[in-house]
Amino acid sequence: MLFLKNNIQEKIIKDRKIKFNYKFSKRKNLVIKIISRDEIYICSPYLLSQRKIDEFVNKKTDWIYEKCNQMITKDKNTLMYLGNKYLIIRTKNKDINIKDNNIEIPIYFTDKDINMWYKNQSKIIIEEIYSKITFEKQPIQIKIKKQKKRWGSCTSEGNIYINSKISMCKKDVIEYILYHELCHLVYMNHSKNFYSLLSQYCSDYKEKKQWLKINSRYMY
């Protein structure tokens, strides 16, 4: 039996439910990529049978479980801010404070409180960066909002939405994301003209894009 299309399945490995994303392409080898604490990608050649894929994955179950647990440890013990990872320290303080290599978080703070802190920081940083740049076309508004899979988006009406956790990224990467969305005010696509315009404002945009690809798994 062959997988004819990309698909998603949920499987239990030991005590953990993990989402398996099966992706097929012209690649030659079968590869497992750990995306988050409960999600992995199985990247496979087009014509590899389900039986062979399952055999490969079954041999890797201990490795998958270990890597997913490592992701959980990272997620629970560290947070990112402006591109740096900080060890979480719970304190009796009233506000979040960054000191040395630690991020001090009040004991009573919930995930909702932490997300609100990120949103407020993101708003301050975006306003700071936007005030220092110039662009040929202005958006109707720039709004900070929760987005699950995007760092930024631009509507045909001219509204730009920036991920509320953008303050997790380095400042130069945040600037790249902002320019990326501003360029969509001119080209609502990813054509050669779009990237030509983007390169005028962010000549090393490929490096910034690669940084996001590598680090996004620690920030979502």
Domains of the chain: 7-61 (no CATH), 76-111 (no CATH), 112-218 (3.30.2010.10)
Q: What is the structure's pLDDT at 3?
A: 43
Assign 1 to helix, strand or coil: coil
Q: Measured between alpha carbons, how far apart are the two ends of the chain, in Å?
A: 35
Q: What is the pLDDT of residue 4?
A: 43
pLDDT, residue 66, reads: 84
**How many residues can be counted in the chain?**
220
Q: Are 57 and 51 in contact (CB under 8 A)?
A: no
pLDDT, tens digit only, all 220 positions of the chain: 344 457 888 888 877 788 898 888 888 889 998 877 788 889 898 888 888 898 998 999 999 988 887 765 554 588 999 999 898 888 888 899 999 889 999 988 888 899 999 999 999 999 999 999 989 899 999 999 998 778 999 999 999 999 999 999 999 999 999 999 999 999 999 999 999 999 999 999 999 998 998 887 666 5
State residue 218's pLDDT score: 66
Kindly give the residue spans of alpha helices, DSSP state H, lying in the chain: 50-59, 61-77, 111-132, 171-183, 192-201, 205-215
Dist. CA 183–CA 52, nearest whole Å: 45
Q: How far is CA 199 from CA 9, 178, 183, 185, 204, in A?
A: 39, 13, 10, 15, 7
Q: What's the rounded Cα separation, in Å, for the pair 17 and 26?
A: 29
Distance in angstroms (rounded) separating the CA atoms of residues 180 and 174: 10
| pLDDT score at 148 | 78
Q: Are 94 and 144 in contact (CB under 8 A)?
A: no
